[in-house]
Amino acid sequence: MRDSSCAFGYTGFVMRDQSAYSCSAATRRDFLHTSAIAGSAALGFPAILRGQRGPKPNIVWILAEDFSPDLGCYGNKIVTTPRLDQMAAEGVRFHHAFTTAPVCSASRSAFATGMFQTTIGAHNHRSHRDDGYQLPQGVDTIARHLRRVGYHTVNLRGEFAPGARGAGKDDFNFNVAQPWDSNSLQDRPQDKPLYLQVNFSATHKGPAYVQARKEMQRIPPESLPLPPYWPDHPVVRNEYANHLECANLLDRQVGQLFGYLRAEKLLDNTAVFFMGDHGQCLIRGKQWLYDAGLRVPLIAWYPKVWNAGQVRNDLVYSIDMTATTARLGGAVPERPFQGQDLFDAAPPRDILFAARDRCDMTVDRIRSARDQRFKLIRNFMPERPYTQYNEYIERQYPTLGVMKDLYAQGKLNAVQSLFMQPRKPDWELYDTRADPFEVNNLANDPAHRATRDRLAARLEQWIEDSGDMGRVPETGYTYR
């Protein structure tokens, strides 16, 4: 008998393997114009979303913390994720989706507003908590945009099913008045469309790791294929296995959420997005601009509107989900989004940019530019090693302790030693097709000089055009 908490109600389970500060006003205006939501005819949208009368859809964001595409539908054969695999089979799966930052508060500040965190001054992790910092003129959160056009907005907090709860997380690097109408569905008005955000902490280090180990089937650590930059050690294998067990827990909770929404009669005329807020909370993932820190799952589900089972390979941003949501709800921002509608007819991007700045007490500035094949990373502070002190990583990443010990003993190989070097390279260039783990730095290879120069020029232009505020040193920061 099928678990009702897992059934989405449109088809049976579908189990599939699929492989996986400053710039001129004119310059910035041109940049924002070309980054805006383009065109009025959207591919895959019904007539009511192209300006004709009709009920506005409910919109649901499901956000998983610290989560890379560790799902069966993305080709991970270790995890068991039938609910999210089914969502992908009934919706649209974006194979190359990336966040604009590899840490929660900066990334969330970006996709909450549809703007690069570096443009709006929200790029330093856990910043502006006590100084009253406001968003720039014309920029606001997607929830407040939707409220203006009639939506009731909810950031779900608390348990809604046994073992499943919404975290109610915002984590913005700015201050905004009344970001939500409610943290519960119980007081929602029946005459308004709903914008609902549900944050799951199942894949975030902390209590969920204990819960997953207790409640989910154990993944044998010895069975795991390890990325080449980690040493083969029991502690490393155990941390990784526990993380993947959390992916299974997350999948169960998403199934419970769909069951809850169905019971509340909230799945008719409803668009649902599932996305990770940034990459996995493991060494070389969270806080870093490698794919393990930036690439996320992104699934868009809207039966009878978006084509079921579609897999998209174009380069997309997390902030594109924001622009798409605004289009769905009929919200038009005063200042155009830097994300673009995922279903618009505009040509696909040829490049993505990302940024990492201060994380907790660890000051750094790193930028990246990535096309379909190559990624260029510029370390603006190469004298600061990857392993400069960060209290969070010291406490939450047992693999780091193992690597420090083995490195001191001379027991790490050349690839595993890369992360332990006393200095970062000024530039890193990776062929992500031939080298998906990003360990073979081609930046100084004469055969790839043209690629490096091309991406470096595009990166510098983006820094200028987008008004990257990371160029101005932060002063008087606090974090918590």
* Domain chopping of the chain, boundaries: 56-349
Residue type at 211 in one-letter notation: Q
CA-CA-CA-CA torsion for 353, 358, 362, 366, nearest 10 degrees? 30
- CA distances (Å), origin 155, targets 42, 158, 160, 175, 184: 28, 10, 13, 16, 7
How many other CB atoms are there within 10 angstroms of residue 347's CB atom?
8
Report the topology of domain 56-349: Alkaline Phosphatase, subunit A (3.40.720)
Per the CB < 8 A criterion, the answer to whether 271 and 343 are in contact is: no
* pLDDT by 10s per residue, the chain, length 480: 333 333 343 332 233 333 333 334 344 444 444 444 333 333 344 433 444 357 999 999 999 999 999 999 999 999 999 999 999 999 999 999 999 999 999 999 999 999 999 999 999 999 998 899 999 999 999 999 999 999 999 999 999 999 999 999 999 999 999 999 999 999 899 999 999 999 999 999 999 999 999 999 999 999 999 999 999 999 999 999 999 999 999 999 999 999 999 999 999 999 999 999 999 999 999 999 999 999 999 999 999 999 999 999 999 999 999 999 999 999 999 999 999 999 998 899 999 999 999 999 999 999 999 999 999 999 999 999 999 999 999 999 999 999 999 999 999 999 999 999 999 999 999 999 999 999 999 999 999 999 999 999 999 999 999 999 999 989 877 655
Total-model pTM: 0.90
The letter for the amino acid at 58 is: N
Contact 319, 106 (CB under 8 A): no
User: Identity (one letter) of the amino acid at 21?
Assistant: Y
